[in-house]
């Protein structure tokens, strides 16, 4: 059985596709998710082999969700949408397939054949998701989208991942590894990322360590492991 996850903000669409997947006899449906954040949690929990993903969803669309997934957890992706104008972008992301709603059983059968061939060959999904421009953060019962350029630094602690900005700190479910894909955010310590545009001063300390002073006045440690990389990026 192929471990599958379904993501669509419309309940009827989720139920219809779940019925079609079940009818093939090929899938174990791990979860049916109404939004990207719930899908992200389910991907981490269940490690699906394939993601049946709607594109046009509120707040966080399907393309953006791909940019939020850790590379080692990335499943094969089949976009399922009512809009055929997304087809070209879908294949530019190197997704497995593209299904147009309402999904026809015979068209799904072709997708299943493609998927089984890839899994038999142990083909690793290699998507090219767009650069993450805004980071989804939880604030009470709301989702706050924080622009990457507004981040001063990122800190990982026992309580989770926190983005620090001039307008306060925000909790995000994205990992440091995912956030470090942004060309603006550079890892300087196993628990810290810093926005290169926000660096005001760098102090070189004994033992190969260092410290960053940001424009907001935050002091960020630099470990020996990352000091050389930081110097190279800054041309020092």
d(CA 234, CA 173): 29
Mean pLDDT of 111-137: 90
Question: Where along the chain do its domains lie?
Answer: 2-120, 134-234
- 111 sits in which H/E element: helix 105-120
Q: Does CATH place domain 2-120 in 3.40.50.2300?
A: yes
Could you tell me the pLDDT band of residue 92, with boundaries at 50, 70 and 90?
low
C-alpha radius of gyration, the chain, whole number? 20
Find out whether 36 and 59 touch, Cβ atoms under 8 Å: yes
Q: Does CATH place domain 134-234 in 2.40.50.1020?
A: yes
Find out whether 68 and 136 touch, Cβ atoms under 8 Å: yes
Please state the pTM of the whole predicted model: 0.87
Tens of pLDDT, residue by residue over 156-183, are 999 999 999 999 999 999 999 999 999 9
The predicted pLDDT at position 127 comes to 77
- Same fold: 2-120 with 134-234: no
Could you tell me the pLDDT band of residue 18, with boundaries at 50, 70 and 90?
very high
Locus of tokens 């079940």 = 22
Tens of pLDDT, residue by residue over 72-89, are 999 999 999 887 765 556
Find out whether 60 and 36 touch, Cβ atoms under 8 Å: yes
């Amino acid at each position: 059985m192929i471990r599958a996850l379904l993501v669509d903000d419309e309940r009827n669409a989720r139920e219809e596709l779940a019925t079609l997947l079940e009818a093939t006899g090929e899938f174990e449906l791990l979860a049916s998710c109404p939004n990207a954040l719930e899908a992200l949690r389910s991907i981490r929990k269940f490690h699906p082999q394939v993601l049946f993903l709607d594109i046009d969803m509120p707040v966080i669309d399907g393309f953006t969700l791909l940019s939020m997934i850790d590379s080692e957890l990335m499943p094969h992706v089949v976009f399922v949408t009512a809009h055929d104008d997304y087809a070209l972008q879908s294949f530019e992301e190197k997704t497995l397939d593209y299904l147009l709603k309402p999904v026809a059983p015979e068209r799904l059968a072709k997708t299943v054949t493609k998927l089984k061939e890839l899994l038999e060959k142990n083909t690793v999904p290699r998507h090219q998701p767009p650069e993450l421009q805004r980071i989804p953060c939880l604030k009470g019962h709301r989702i706050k989208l924080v622009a990457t350029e507004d981040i001063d630094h990122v800190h990982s602690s026992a309580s989770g991942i926190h983005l620090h900005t001039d307008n306060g700190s925000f909790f995000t479910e994205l990992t440091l590894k995912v956030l470090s894909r942004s060309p603006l955010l550079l890892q300087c310590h196993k628990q810290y990322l810093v926005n290169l545009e926000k660096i005001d001063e760098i102090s070189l300390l004994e033992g190969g360590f260092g410290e960053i002073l940001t424009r907001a006045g935050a002091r960020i440690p630099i470990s020996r492991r990352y000091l050389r990389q930081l110097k190279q990026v800054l041309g020092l």
